[in-house]
Amino acid sequence: MARHLITSALPYINGIKHLGNMVGSMLPADVYSRYLRQRGHDVLYICATDEHGTPAELAAKEQGIPVAEFCAQAHDAQKAVYDGFALAFDYFGRSSSPQNHEITQHFARRLNENGFIEERAIRQVYSPADGRFLPDRYVEGTCPHCGYDKARGDQCENCTRVLDPTDLINPRSAISGSTDLEVRETKHLFLLQSKLQHEVEEWVSRHEGDWPQLASSIARKWLTEGLHDRAITRDLDWGVPVPADTWPELAAEGKVFYVWFDAPIEYIGATKEWSDLDPENRDWKSWWYQADDTVRYTEFMAKDNVPFHTVMFPATELGVREPWKKVDYVKAFNWLTYYGGKFSTSQKRGVFTDQALDILPADYWRYFLIANAPESDDSSFTWEHFTATVNKDLADTLGNFVNRVLSFSKKRFGEEVPAGSAPGEAETRLGEQIAELLAEYETQLEALQFRKAAAALRALWSAGNSYLEEKAPWLEIKTDQEGAALTLRTAMNLIHLYAVVSEPFIPTTAKTMREAFTLTDDTATWVTPDEARALTAVPAGTPFTVPPVLFAKLTDDDLAAYKERFGGEPAA
């Protein structure tokens, strides 16, 4: 079996993420990781909070607490939400960890030794009132293009134009609000990506044929436009310090590495964090350094993160001139919008992950988001679509099937799985259909086609309903008790099969379904084709219980309440 290294885009520390962040990286990575583990593969799923950069410092300042304390609290708050979504990370680390500091500084030294880092003097905004140079985001003002008066020095949030701090009209410090700003000369480190352009092109060319079109096209666009040398240091109080043994002057000035440089390295850093917790049993380098051919590295991210992971971080890894593992497959996603517009905390538009869990259990969200993942294009969340999907797929097709079968069998045959007659033609046809649908489900998960995998899972659930309608045990029992018992035993075996194979999508509900049966030797991690055809995992005489309603139907009142609370009008 292959060893699968899996990472998802690092969620930024500043604030709880919305549903688009969840479906664009962490959730599909979790579904894939769970599936691979069930199939017997060795899986390491690594993620972390991305904690450095200007927004973290500004958010801490707003709350009046040290930035380290802010990040620690925010990390715990985010981790609690991800636990609530049942994301089964092997480790969820922090980019501010000592391990990431160590490895980031090592990368910088090696890049410098190999001639890929250069110290350059640049002109930058300085605030005498704050006594410091201001990074781009620390400068605010009026956008010269659209007149938005809260534009940042790197980009206008309103019109999305890329800016330089000197472009802003009436610029001011985001720290103190002072308009007494100067432009002074200062020194920073630049990564000479232009010298690595050819190597990155060759590396991308070897992989882009296997990547999804979205990832390939973004990587190729950046390469066609040409890689530019980029500053990798900033004047901030919070970050990975420039090492004094290599750049003593810059270290003395308090320079830190820019977040885009250290954040991707945190995948390695977090793996070392994981290993350091139990060093006797875990070798982090076997996953990242001189990893053998059995390690397959898959990354999950939304399209705005693709350039960093298909071009910029590979350039860093290539320039280090050491055998660090590079990504094999980039699963890129488009954006999930909210009624066609952006999720917005300030405008109270859209559902954020902590709010989602306050409303409904995680499995409602997990299934809906994956079944509507923005793979081929942007997709739009609407409460109408969410309600319809929950009611049809989860409540009716799966939940109602489980409840009907177990409740009716308990009422007519007691609290053990009935025996009934031998399987007949209908059961043979059902077994073949289930085996075929299961193979389709596996094929789509292997290909990381999540919407198609959800459709295949839904078809598996629907097959059980069709069988039940065909056999109609509530009528059958009037003339053929043994036949009705066979129908119910077969349906109960379908419930167990659904519990096993639905686990990547709806793990909590799958566990509830599985625990409905008292099977002492129930160690199955997946279902083979022969097992799917036979449907005998739950033998006659097995005690069972009827679980509570698995998925409650959402009402018109629920729909109205959700729209009122979160906004439900199309974006202007």
Burial (0-12, 13-18, 19+ Cβ within 10 Å), 481: middle
Detail the DSSP E strand segments found in 128-284: 132-133, 139-142, 151-152, 169-173, 182-191, 230-231, 233-234, 256-257
User: How would you write 235-289 as a 3-class SS string?
Assistant: CCCCCCECCCCCCHHHHHCCCEECHHHHCCCHHHHHHHHHHHHCCCCCCCHHHHE
Q: Which of 94, 28, 36 minimizes the C-alpha distance to 372?
A: 28
Residue 498 identity (one-letter amino acid): Y
- Side-chain-facing half-sphere of 220: CA atoms under 13 Å: 12
Angstrom CA distances, 251 to 95, 237, 243, stand at: 20, 12, 6
Q: Nearest 5°: phi and psi at 152?
A: -95, 165
Beta bridge partners of 299: 7, 330
Cα 318 from chain centroid (whole Å): 26
Q: In the numeric block, which tokens belong to residue 336?
A: 């999930």
Q: Which of 8, 10, 6 minimizes the C-alpha distance to 53?
A: 10
The rounded distance, in Å, linking the Cα atoms of 300 and 310 is 12
Q: Is 159 labelled a binding residue? A: yes
In this structure, the number of other CB atoms found within 10 A of the CB of residue 175 comes to: 18
Q: In the numeric block, which tokens belong to residue 139?
A: 């400068």
Burial (0-12, 13-18, 19+ Cβ within 10 Å), 206: exposed
Q: Is 316 labelled a binding residue? A: no
Beta bridge partners of 189: 119
Strand, helix or coil for residue 520: coil
Indicate the pairing of strand 117-127 with strand 182-191: antiparallel
Q: Is 509 labelled a binding residue? A: no
Cα 230 from chain centroid (whole Å): 28
Q: Is 71 labelled a binding residue? A: no
List alpha helices for 139-254, DSSP H: 197-207, 213-225, 248-252
In this structure, the number of other CB atoms found within 10 A of the CB of residue 120 comes to: 11
- 50 DSSP assignment: B
Q: Is 143 labelled a binding residue? A: yes
Strand, helix or coil for residue 397: helix
The rounded distance, in Å, linking the Cα atoms of 543 and 239 is 58
Q: Which of 312, 470, 461, 290 minimizes the C-alpha distance to 392?
A: 461
Angstrom CA distances, 65 to 71, 73, 479, stand at: 10, 11, 75
Binding residues: 143, 146, 156, 159, 345
* Annotated binding-site ranges for Zn(2+): 143, 146, 156, 159
Known binding-site residues for ATP equal 345
